[in-house]
Amino acid sequence: MTGWIRIMGMQFQARHGALPYEQERPQPFAVDIEVETDFSRAVESDQVGDTVDYGRLYAVAARVMAGPPVRLLEALAGRMAGEVLALDGVERVVVRIRKQAPPLPGPVAYSEVEVSRHA
């Protein structure tokens, strides 16, 4: 039995972007991580060790966001997806990263990239 685990709207201040000032000052980002995994053992056992640990998903997001600055959200999301996919039990991952104050000529709610990878 497969299912999805979603951690949505994680909030981070980080220094990523193509413009020099974006890598000098922290900016607001939001991250969503969705993983497809086999729920069979967890459904029967009701044990955290038999599923993907939500805390580990958050830890990956926090580590990647706090890591060395990158210019492109695509690179950031790809790095995060690769680390999540390496976790035990993850069969597929979808990562969305939103830059909540993108440097555009007019007001926008956010810019976003989405990356998906599978085992």
Q: pLDDT digits over 72-82, tens only?
A: 999 999 999 99
State residue 3's pLDDT score. Answer: 97
Q: Where does 2-118 sit in CATH, by number?
A: 3.30.1130.10
Is 99 known to be catalytic?
A: yes
Prediction pTM value: 0.95
State residue 25's pLDDT score. Answer: 95
**Domain map of the chain by residue range?**
2-118
Q: Which of 99, 104, 107, 108 is the catalytic position?
A: 99
The 3-class SS string of 32-66 reads: EEEEEEECHHHHHHCCHHHCCCHHHHHHHHHHHHH
